Amino acid sequence: LSGAMTSLTLRVSDLAGEWDRTGLIPLELLRELGAEGRLCAEVPEQYGGWGLSSLHSGAYTAHVGGLCSSLRSVMTSQGMAAWTVQRLGTAEQAADLLPRLTGGALAAVGFSEPGAGSDLAAMATTVRRDGDTVVVDGHKKWVTAAHYADLLVVVGRQEDGAVAVVVPTGTPGVRIERIADPLGCRAAGHADVHLDGVRLPADSVLGGHGLPTALLVTTALAYGRMSVAWGCVGILRACLAAATAHATVREQFGRPLAEHQLVAGHIADLYTAEQVATRVCEHASRCWDEGSPDQVVATVLAKHVSATQAARGAATAVQVLASAGSRDGHTVARAYRDAKLMEIIEGSSELCRLMLARHALSAPG
């Protein structure tokens, strides 16, 4: 794994700032990384993945998150698509789709709609059966990586519940509309997806039948939450590294910034944030790897803690660097914008707090 991290560092090198400014990661690079199984590294080896445990995948995701949150976001989408296929698809669907996802095809996952953000039970996208086909109609919003994607995993309603359907982006009736100038993760390829009478073979529906909306959504989002949580650990590590390096070298009032106690306090806060986020993520990943019943709540906790720590920690890092970090493309400036979005996606901080409160209130003792 450390070899894989080093090789990725060399390939991203200092390009993340440029990708952030141009709003694009080169498509060839994404395909190359995808074809090496790097974008969904938990997929079992039999399907061309690396078969990483959640803990190892987390370490890798944090590494990518520290280099470039846009790339990590693309990776989260790909991993979430693969996870959804693994969890909900039939053996035939897994055998067909997973090797494509580890072979260079890029994927994105669409839940959110104009009327269904936090409240996914309000989804209006329909997946109607019609003989041996299904017809998809709807509008998905803010789909990360949709601009790059070959395949979309779209969540909608069928007669018997919620379904996830795999939609090739080249299918007639699919229109992908790029979101201009997002606040952060600017090269993650966010787009709105319009689906108008999109006709697909009936076996495009994962598992072939509907599930309760909450069950389907929780299953798919669980992977995304872990990935975002570990990505936030990476953001914190990058911020800590930038802040300590700057505070050691930059002098004001005749001594390094780090020797001014209020600045040292910022460094201590950043270190604490990084450590706290790392520990909650490690705990959650161990729950995944051990199949613990605490997995669901540990995942929500990891996502919530890491995202809030990253948003606060990135602001602290900008404060330490001050004007030196206050330009587009700089590590801490990117982190500041990227981290804020982590408090919104995969279950906002408010939704996470509601889930954690529900858990605390229902837990015995």
Where does this chain bind ligand FAD (CB under 6 A)?
77, 109-112, 117-118, 142-144, 182, 185, 190, 341, 344-345, 348, 350-351, 354
Question: Minimum CB separation from ligand FAD for residue 278, in Å?
Answer: 23
Determine the Cα–Cα distance for residues 332 and 219; give it in Å rounded to an integer: 33
Query: Which residue type is seen at 47?
Result: Y
Q: Which is nearer to ligand FAD, 35 or 354 (CB)?
A: 354
Measuring CA to CA, which residue among 63, 64, 89 is closest to residue 75?
Answer: 64
Question: Minimum CB separation from ligand FAD for residue 48, in Å?
Answer: 23
Beta strands in the chain (DSSP E): 107-110, 126-130, 133-143, 151-158, 161-168, 174-178, 191-201, 251-252, 255-256
Measuring CA to CA, which residue among 297, 287, 274 is closest to residue 361?
Answer: 297
Question: Minimum CB separation from ligand FAD for residue 299, in Å?
Answer: 16
Q: Which is nearer to ligand FAD, 191 or 298 (CB)?
A: 191
Q: Could you give the C-alpha distances from 158 to 17, 186, 213, 216, in angstroms and in order? A: 43, 34, 11, 13
Q: Which is nearer to ligand FAD, 321 or 344 (CB)?
A: 344
Q: Which is nearer to ligand FAD, 321 or 345 (CB)?
A: 345
Q: Which is nearer to ligand FAD, 10 or 361 (CB)?
A: 361
Give the pairing of strands 107-110 and 151-158. parallel
Q: Which is nearer to ligand FAD, 115 or 161 (CB)?
A: 115
Q: Could you give the C-alpha distances from 37 to 41, 62, 107, 243, in angstroms and in order? A: 6, 17, 13, 33
Question: Minimum CB separation from ligand FAD for residue 315, in Å?
Answer: 18
Determine the Cα–Cα distance for residues 288 and 296; give it in Å rounded to an integer: 9
Determine the Cα–Cα distance for residues 363 and 342; give it in Å rounded to an integer: 27
Which two structure tokens, joined as six digits, stand for 126? 């329909």
Question: Minimum CB separation from ligand FAD for residue 217, in Å?
Answer: 10
Measuring CA to CA, which residue among 5, 2, 38, 63 is closest to residue 278?
Answer: 63
Q: Give, in degrees to the nearest 5, the angle at Cα 187 between 185 and 191.
A: 90
Question: Minimum CB separation from ligand FAD for residue 268, in Å?
Answer: 29
Question: Minimum CB separation from ligand FAD for residue 223, in Å?
Answer: 12
Q: Which is nearer to ligand FAD, 72 or 190 (CB)?
A: 190
Question: Minimum CB separation from ligand FAD for residue 358, in Å?
Answer: 12
What are residue 113's DSSP bridge partners?
A: 116
Among all residues, whose Cβ is closest to ligand FAD? 117
Q: Which is nearer to ligand FAD, 71 or 267 (CB)?
A: 71
